[in-house]
Structure 1
C-alpha cells in the first residue's frame, strides 16, 4: 500500500516540488498516508474544524514536553497537507492563507490556555484594580492579523491586559509581570526549536517601543502610547491588527486603537508620511539590489499592499468599508468606491494572487521564511514544476510582466493621489495681497507676521506656516469677499500656530480650505467657534455636509463615552461639549455650504440638544445612585436605571423643535418618587432630595463654564412658581399648580412644551396632562385679552424703541409683524379653540399648529399658509443673522410686505384696535 501511494502522481509531484515535504513524509512515516486515505489532504477545512484538530491533538496532555511535541507534529502534518494542496492546485491563495491563519489562532489560544494554570498555581489570579480577573489580550498583527499567513510566515504579536493590579497568591506579583511571564511562556511553547521543529516563529517587535520594552502593556499604557507617540508607520501596521483572545477587553482595545489608525476625516496629512515611506521603499530596493525578491523587490507584494493601505489610511476614517484588514477585500472596496479603476483593480488583484502563489512555492521548498527566487538550478526546476511552467524563461517573462504593472501603479497611481493634494501655488507665491485689502487690514497682516507668536515658532511649525500661507492666499483671493474672509480667518490661524498639524491638514486638503474660506465669508460665528475650539477642525475636515441622522448622533456620543468612568466628571463634560459643538458646527456648515432646508436644520439642532440632555440625565442619575442608592416611586417600587422616575420637559424653542444656533434650553424637571421614602444606599436621602441632586448634577454637567465653554445655557424659570419654586416637583404637584394656580401665560408656555428625556411612562403621563390642561374650555375674549397683555409687555421691554422705528429699524423677532406675533397667534389658537378641537393641542411646533388650525376650520387655509410662509422667512433670516453674528434689527423697508401680512392677521385675530401706521408704505429713509 505504501508503494502505491509513493508512486501516485500527487505524491511524486509533492516530493519533487518540496524538499521539506519529503522530510515530513519520512518523519511521519505512515501517518500522512493515513490522512491521505481519509481525504484529509483533499477537502477544505473551516475554522471550527481546524480548532477541533488542535483541541483533539492536545486533549488530556498535561506535561510541557508532550504538549510541544504533539503540536509540532500536528504542524508538520498540516504543512504537508497545505503544500500537497498547493502543489497539486487543489486549493487557492485565499483558502490556504485563511486556513494557515486559523491554525495560528488555534495554536496561540491553546498555548495561552496551557500556560496559565502553572502561573496561577505559583502566583495566584491576576486581579485588576476594579477587582476583576485580568485576561491576556493577544493581538495579531501583519499577515496573521489580516488572516493572510504564508506557508512559512512568522507571526507578529502584541500582548496587553486590561488594567494594573496584583495577583492574589502567596507569592504576589503585579498584573503586568504576570502577563509578561504568560507571554514569555506562549513564545517558548510555539517558537522554540526542538527535535520536532517549531510551530511558529514569533516576532514581538511591533509592540510599543519595540525591542527592549515591556513584553505586555496595560490598556491605558497602550492607549497613551498610540495617542502621544504612535508614528505614521505604526498606523500602517495597525490596519491589519486583530484581537485573537482577550474577550470584551480586547474588543474595547481595538475600538480605542481605531481612531489612531483611521482619522475621522479624509486624512490628507497621511500623504506626507506616505511620500517618505514610498521613497524609502524605492531606495531600499535600489540599495539592497533585491530584484529577485517577490515581496520586497520592485513590483512585488509589498508595493501592492502599500497601494491598498495608503488609500485605507487616507479615506478609511470616512469610508468604513475601507477598514477591512484583508488586502483583496479592501482592494474590491477601492474599486467599488471608484478610488481604483476597473483595469487597475483587475491587474493588481491578478498580480497579487500570482505573487502570493510564487511566494508559497518558494517557501514550500525548504520551509524557510524567504521570498527570494532560488539561484540553484535544481531548486529553480522544482519551483517552476510546482507552478506549472515549462521553463525558467517562460516563468520569468510572466513574473516580470506582473511586476511591471505593479510598478507602474505604484509609481503613478500613488503619485497621482499625492499630487491631487498639492495646489499649484507658483503664481500665488508672488501675489501681492495689498490690492485686495484696505490699509488697516494690510497692517493687520504685517503685524501677524512680525508678532511674537510667529517669531517664536519652532522651525518645523514656522516652515509649515510659510508653506501654507500661499495656499490660503490663493483660496482667499478666489473668494467673493477676500478681505472679510482673511480677517475672519486670521484669529483661527493664530490659534493653531503651535498645533501645526492642523495647518498641514488645511494645506493638503484643498477642498476643506476652500470650504473654510467660503464659510468665513458668510459666518464669523463659525470662525469664532473654530478659533476658540481648534479641536473642532478635526470634525470640520471629516464633514460630508449632509445633515447627521439621529441614530448616528446617538451612536457617536455613546462610543465617545464608552471608556469614561462615572467619576471622571471633567472628561464627561468635555465629551458632551465637544459632541454638541462639533455637531452644531456640522449643521452650520451644511446650512452655509449645502443650503439645507430650515426645518431640517432646526430638527437636527433639536436632535443634538435632546440627545445631549438624555445622556446627561442618565449619567447624572447613575452618579447620584452610586452615592445614595435607588429611590422608590410612588407605588413603592425601586426606580432602577431602566425606569428613572425622572423626566425633563422642554419648553420654548427646544419644546417647539425650533432651535437655532445660539438658543438656550428652557427646561422643567419632574419626578415620580415617594418624596419622604429614603433611598436604599449607605448614604440614604429622601426621594425629594434624590430628585434635587439629580437635577443639580444634570445642571452641573450641562452648564459648568470651562475653557471650552459650556454645553448649553439652561433656563429653569418656567417651573411652577418660577425662581421661588423648587427646582424639581412631582407630576402630581405640577398638575395641581397648573390647574389651580398657573397664570394663562403659563398655559401659553405649555403650548410649546414636550417631554424630551427620562422615564417613558412619566413622559407619557406628562403629555396626557399637557393635553388635558390645554384643551380646557376657555372664554376666547379672556384669552385674547391676556395674550395681548403679555405681547405688549414683550414689545415694551424687548422691541425696538420709537426712535429706532423712526429710522426704519425692525426687530425681526420682537417688533409688530415679527416672529413672536406669529408664535402668539399659534398659541392663541390652541388656548382659545382646542376646547372644542382637541387635535390643536397635539403638536408643540408653530407650523403644525397652524396646519391643524386650518384643518379644523378654525383658521382659513389661506391665512394659515400666509402665516407659515412669513414665519419660515423670518426664521430663516434669523438663522442667517445668527451665523453672521448680527443683530436681529434689520431694515424695515425690506420686510414691509411680510409684516403687513402678519399685522393684518394679528389685527383680525387678537387686536382689532391695532393702529394702521404699521401698514404705511416705507419712507424714503427706510429705502436708503
Structure 2
C-alpha cells in the first residue's frame, strides 16, 4: 500500500463517514497530478474542513470526484477565505464561461453548483457566520435570477418589441430576508408598472406574463433545476396571473389582501429589474404591511394564524422548521411584532429575521432574556437545517431516524452524541414554544370551539376555513372574513344541536356557494340568529329541502318573512295563489309553487310552529289545492274526485301518494288529470297518484258511474275495499253527497258482520307477511303494534259502531267512550308517536319509509331529529308506543 493510500485510509477512518470519504479521496487521487496529501496539507481552510465536507455531503463529494479541478479552485485563498458579494460572483462567472446562456444556461448551472460547494465548505469550516452563509446563498440565487431575467427579457424584446413600462422581480420568504438555506425554494412576485399596449395585438399584461413564464421555464429546464421557484405568494396564489401591474397589485391588496399576506410582504425586497418600481411598490403598500393602528379584527386574524400553526404542528417532533418551537415559530414571533409595531418604528421594517430581532431588542418589545432565547434558538435550528440539507441539497428539515445518520449529524454539529443533540433541541424548542404561546393572549380572539362534534375535526376545520375564504379560484374580501369570524361561533353552537353536524356543514357550504353574495348572507345570519337556527335545522332535517334551497336560494328570504312563516296557509289561500297560474295553464309554476310551499312547511315543522296534526292538515291542503288547480287546467269539472286513505283523512305526510277514485263517465279527463299530476320535472311532480283502490283495482276501469260503484260495493267488493271507504272523502265534482251516502251505507252494513274483527285481523296479518321487512322490530308500520294495527283497529271500531270520521286521530277521540278514555289516550299517543317517526324519516329525502334504519348511528340521528337527547330514551319511547297499540289491539282482536 502506498503512502498516499495509507494516508487516505487513515483520514477516512477518523472521519464521520469512512466509506464515503475513502471512496471520494481515492477517486480524486486517481486523477490527481501530484501528491494529494501534500496538496491538502496547505489547503487554506485546513484539510479537516475538506474531509468534513466529503463525510457529510454526498452530492459535493461526487462533484469533487467528477471534477478534481474544483478542488484546485477551492484551494485558492481568495476563493475560500472570504465571502463573495454579487459583483465578485458575476465577475467570476463571466470569466469562467463565455456562453453562460447556452444550452438552457448549462454554464450557469455548473457555476451555481461550484458556488454551492464553496459556501458549504466555508460553513463546515466555521469560516462563515450564519448571516454570511445565508447572504451568500441568497446572493447566488439573485445572480442566477438576474442573468435568466436579462436573457428572457432580451429575447422577448427582440421578438415582440419593447413595452413602455418597467418590470421588477420581488423576492419574498427567505430570499427576501437574504436568509436562503442550502435547498430553499425561491419565493417570487413579478411586477410591471402600467397597463398599456406593446403592439396592437399584444398588451403589457400579456407581454410581462410571457416574460414571467419564460423565466419560470428557464429555471426548471435542464437537470438539475437552477432553483425551485415558488410563486404561490402572489395575489390569488396559483390561480392568479404570474405578473401584475402596480395598480392591479394595489387593488388586490386593498380589496382582498389577507393578514397572512401582510406578514409575507414584510420580507418583500427588490432582487432584480427596476429598483424604482420595487421602491414604489414598497412605498405604496407600506400602510397595508404595517398598519398604524392594527384593529381588533387584525389581531384576531393574527391569533387565528397562530392557532393554525399550533394545529398544524407535524407528528414528527424532530422537524426543526415546522415542529413545535421550530424555525417557523421563531419567525412568526418576530414578524408579528414587526406587523404590530412597524408603522411606529421604521427600523422594524426589515426583511431579515436576525436584523429584525435586534431591532426588537433595541425597542425592548421583548425582554432581553427572550430575545437571547430566540436568537440562540434560531441560529441553532438553522445550523441543524443546513447540515441536513448539505448532504444532498434536498429540502428536508427532519432529523433522520437512522441511528448512524443521527450520530453523524450530531458529531458534525460538534455534539458528542445524538442524545446530547436531541436533548439540546428539546430544551430549545420548549423555550421558543413558551414565548410563542404567550405572544398573543388567548383572550385576544374568540375561544376555539370544540370540533369533536364532527367525525373528522380536521376536515371540518378545513371546511370552515373554505367557508370564510371561498374556493381556490375565488377571493373573499377581508370584510366578509371578518363577518364570518362573528358568525362562526354562532354556527358551531347550532351545529352542536344537529343530528348530523358533518352533513349539515357540507349543506351549508353548498348553500353559501349557491347564494353567491357571501358577505350579505353572512351578515344576515350573524345578525339574525333565528334565521341561522332555521337554516341549520332545515339542512339537518331534510336533504330534500336542502336541495330545493340550493336550486332556489332566493326562496330563503321569500319564505322566512315573519308574516309568511309564522302561520299556516289554508286551502282557500293556496287556491287564490294558484288561480293566476291556472288561468295561464302554467303547470311548471304550479310544480314550483308546490315545492316552495312544501319547503315552507318543512321549515315550520323543524321550528315546531304547530302540532303534528296541523302539519298533516297543511300538507293535505297544499296537495288538494294543487290537485284542484290541475283538475281545472285539464277540464275535469264533470269528474267526481274521491280522496282515499290518508288524503281522505286529511292526514298526509311527506312523500304521501294521493289515493284517488273517479266517479263519472269522462275517462279521457281522468287520464289527462293523472298525467298532468305525474309528469316529472326538475321541480318534481305535482302529485304521485295511486288509483288502485278503485273497484277491481288495476284491472278495473279508471272511471265508474255512481250506479257501478254502488253495485260493486253491494255485490262483489272484497272486505278490505269496503273497509277503505271509511276514509273516503269527495274533494271535487258533482254528486259528492250521493257518493258519500253510498260509501257510508257500504261500510256500515259490513260493520254488522259477526266476523268483522276476524276479517280485518286476517288482512293485518297478510299485510305484515307481504310488506314487512322480515325484522319486526324495525317495521313501525306493518309490524306488531305498528301504524297498520292502530288504523285497522280504529276502522273496525268505526264500522262496528257506525262512527263517521275520515281522520284516524279524530276517530280515536270519538271512540273514547267505547274503548275507554284511558285506552283512547294511549292509542292516540302511540299512533301519533309512530306517525311522527314516519314523518321525520320521510322528511329527509321526501320519499316513502315504513321501516327503521338498521344502523344504530342512523337511529341516533332519527332520535335527535325527533327531539330526543339520545338513542336509548328514544328506543324506550318507541317500544312503549308499539306495546300500547298492540295491547289495545289485542283487547278487541283477541291477540
Fold in common (TM above 0.5)? no
TM-score by length of 2: 0.45
Pair member with larger Rg: 2
TM-score (norm 1): 0.43
